[in-house]
Amino acid sequence: MSGMTALKFTLSATLAAILAGSSVHAQNVPQVRVPASRAEIGLSFSPIVKRTAPAVVNVYAQKAARQVSNPFMNDPFFQRFFGGQGLGIPGERAQRSLGSGVIVDADGIVVTNFHVIENAELVRISLADKREFEAEILLRDQRSDLAVLRIKDARERFPYVEFGDSDTVEVGDIALALGNPFGVGQTVTQGIVSAVARTQAGISDYQFFIQTDAAINPGNSGGALVDMAGRLIGINTAIFSRSGGSLGIGFAVPVNMVRVVVDSARGGSAAVRRPWFGAKLQAVTPDIAESLGLKRPAGALVASLAAESPAAKAGIRAGDLIVAIDSTPVDDPNAFEYRYATRPIGGAASVTIERRGKTSNVSVRLESAPDTPREEILIKDALFAGARVANLSPLLAEELRLGTAAEGIVIVDIANGSTAAALGFRRGDIILAVNGEKIGRTRDLERVTAKSGRNWTIVLQRGGQQMNFTLRG
């Protein structure tokens, strides 16, 4: 055989082998094809949108804010402590916020985000058919970043979205987000559930969110996240963004938390009734996991307990590791607190703990935190003017997430445009002492601030840290 003939033979054999291999490989690759029928061409999310869109509304909130100049802001130390907040020109200005909401009851019950209607004096609802109604605020729940409204003077039955079950939502499920992004009008976006049980979003007290890549933008807050059956699975709440627009990372409050808040509002409560556990929980770090002999850093470590709390009565001790509730594993304290908070008052929850290498289940009663008659007063003098303070109780400490050992008086509200607001005091600040006098009751603060003088020494607790500072007039 000549060299040229041999070369041709080799090339032919090689080409045949390649073609044969390609043929075999092609059999394992899904074939791209054109739609085989009109039915396939017409596949659409339109039926879901038609069913849910009429129940998604625009929420307009308005408030009047008065800016004040304050002599205390001239103190350089005070400016450093509070970040220079409150510097402005005296006068009133109208503040408006635009968000979305979802009708969840034919009687006109609407769910939106707390931050959409925070401090609002007037709230209006605009339906998908362009009709507008004034709305009353039934309940604000800052801890979950949810609020419940009711359409005023409603004389009709409204379209609404039924609740789903967020515990059945899985990563990869298709989801639709409905709302009013940037105020352009009702918009629908489609994506998948990117993650469930996101606990590090830093949005609200209950860190437990559904993450989706369905486009969510400013104005979508309070809108609906629905599944392929048209059921509500979450309330769109926030996005992760460096530009202000959607980057495909959006977060929604799971509907099982929404249901708890709505049920409280329907029952006529001005606050959400949640079961009290009565323990301070700590995340398990890799170092802690190693010291405990755990295979991975997971669970919620009990750091301390309130006396006579349900957790203490159930026999839970400091140092116990909580790994599950009602057989549902929990990876961190946020996951446990969400699961526990969505349990109904009454009955009991089965909490699985590990103690010195042994696993056991304890029954914890689901009951509200005890409350004492709440003595609230509005401070009208000096640098705390405009701050409403209250004596702490286990219930109030639980609502404000102040820990199991918190005691004294706490700021529960601050009036817009007030001196206290301008100076940067916050809801949840515990006032420990003023001008060397211990503040144990609300009347103590009222008495101290009524005294004349422009020099102030203040001791407060914020976020578990004690802060001391002095102001000189």
As a whole number of angstroms, the distance between CA 125 and CA 358 comes to 55
As a whole number of angstroms, the distance between CA 299 and CA 320 comes to 10
Residue 221 is a catalytic residue? yes
* Contact yes or no for 462/425 (Cβ under 8 A): no
Catalytic one of 115, 213, 264, 309: 115
| Both tokens assigned to 31 | 């074939």
Beta-carbon neighbour count of residue 159 at 10 Å?
15
As a whole number of angstroms, the distance between CA 272 and CA 208 comes to 17
Catalytic one of 75, 105, 141, 145: 145
Contacts of 418 by beta carbon, 8 Å cutoff, 6+ apart: 68, 385, 386, 387
Nearest Cα to 354, choosing from 317, 311, 305?
317
| Both tokens assigned to 39 | 């039915």
Nearest Cα to 403, choosing from 336, 306, 322, 468?
306
Residue 413 is a catalytic residue? no
> In which residue are the tokens 């609020």 written?
147
| Both tokens assigned to 72 | 């205390």
Beta-carbon neighbour count of residue 292 at 10 Å?
16
Residue 25 is a catalytic residue? no
Catalytic one of 97, 144, 204, 221: 221
* Contact yes or no for 188/48 (Cβ under 8 A): no
* Contact yes or no for 177/220 (Cβ under 8 A): yes
Beta-carbon neighbour count of residue 374 at 10 Å?
13
Q: Give me the active site residues, please.
A: 115, 145, 221
